[in-house]
């Protein structure tokens, strides 16, 4: 089911399986995708990495993720574009910027708690009902359904990832992740991001330590590594060009950085992914 508005608004809601999974490869400009797995033992290759998903897990993807389905059952598929609903412009409404989308730490995945499952199921049914409606209020109702869906997901993610309970601290973590997504190619130190947030590097580190997952520097380095692997796997750029693209002055520095984090050199990684 697709909703297409008068000014290029796009929303698609489907239940897909292995016979219809090519939809995952379709490029839709400025789009965001949410996949809710209805069965166990699903395997997708995302940005060159094999990822396994089980029943009632949800993963959040941007247009920049490269997705290849390997083994899937049924999936509840939701995709929308920026004209339909911009999560950046409406961050105060849904609070998912830097958490579900445009974050630098890792691929965002949630597991729907059994106590929340009825809410998710009911909302999905209401979503389908609104997709079938045809009146002047349809787009407002669909946007309302989408906001509710994203709010529920963001709440679960924050609980699972032990986000700081203080709203001020949580907002700083989200804003830091979003800033890294914007500037990781040109800003490489915690100090640079601390300045953008009008905080000290020590304050940032203390806030992140409450999450107990990664340091601010690890967030920055992980985002650079993700981009490096994407370009090595999917682009025709030379390794020297990739090094420059993500902010390294010379190929030797890039190679040392890559090998430290991945365990192999960029050329070995490229050869390995080419053979697959």
pLDDT tens across 202-224, in order? 998 988 887 666 888 988 998 89
Q: What are phi and psi of 51, to 5 degrees?
A: -125, 135
Per-residue pLDDT tens digits for 170-192: 678 878 888 888 888 999 999 99
pLDDT of residue 212: 66
Q: CA-CA distance, 271 to 232, in Å (whole number)? A: 9
Q: How many CB atoms lie within 10 A of CB 201?
A: 16
Q: CA-CA distance, 245 to 240, in Å (whole number)? A: 9
Are 3 and 142 a contacting pair, CB within 8 Å? yes
Whole-prediction pTM: 0.78
Q: Which domains does the chain have, with CATH numbers?
A: 2-160 (2.60.120.280), 164-276 (1.10.10.60)
Determine which helix (DSSP H) or strand (DSSP E) holds 71, and give its type and residue range: strand 67-71
CA distances from 63 to 34, 205, 266 (A): 11, 30, 24
Question: Tokens standing for 14?
Answer: 């489907």
Q: How many CB atoms lie within 10 A of CB 11?
A: 25
């Amino acid at each position: 089911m697709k909703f297409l508005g008068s000014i290029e608004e796009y929303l698609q809601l489907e239940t897909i399986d292995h016979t219809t999974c090519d939809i995952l490869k379709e490029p839709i400009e400025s789009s965001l995708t949410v996949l809710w797995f209805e069965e166990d033992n699903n395997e997708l290759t995302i940005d060159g990495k094999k990822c396994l998903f089980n029943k009632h897990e949800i993963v959040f993807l941007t247009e920049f993720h490269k997705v290849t389905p390997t083994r899937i059952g049924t999936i509840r598929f939701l995709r929308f574009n920026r004209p339909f609903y911009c999560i950046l412009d409406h961050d105060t409404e849904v609070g998912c910027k830097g958490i579900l989308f445009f974050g630098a730490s890792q691929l965002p995945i949630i597991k729907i708690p059994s106590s929340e499952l009825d809410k998710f199921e009911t909302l999905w049914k209401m979503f389908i009902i609104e997709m079938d409606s045809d009146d002047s209020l349809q787009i407002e109702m669909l946007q309302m359904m989408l906001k509710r869906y994203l709010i529920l997901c963001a709440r679960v993610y924050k609980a699972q990832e032990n986000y700081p309970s203080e709203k001020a601290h949580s907002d700083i973590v989200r804003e830091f992740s979003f800033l890294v997504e914007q500037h990781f190619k040109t800003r490489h130190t915690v100090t640079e991001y601390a300045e953008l947030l009008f905080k000290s590097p020590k304050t940032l580190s203390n806030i992140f330590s409450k999450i107990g997952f990664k340091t601010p520097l690890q967030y920055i380095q992980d985002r650079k590594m993700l981009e490096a692997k994407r370009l090595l796997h999917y682009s025709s750029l030379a390794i020297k060009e990739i090094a420059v693209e993500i902010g390294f002055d010379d190929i030797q520095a890039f190679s040392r950085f890559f090998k430290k984090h991945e365990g192999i050199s960029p050329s070995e990684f490229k050869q390995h992914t080419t053979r697959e």
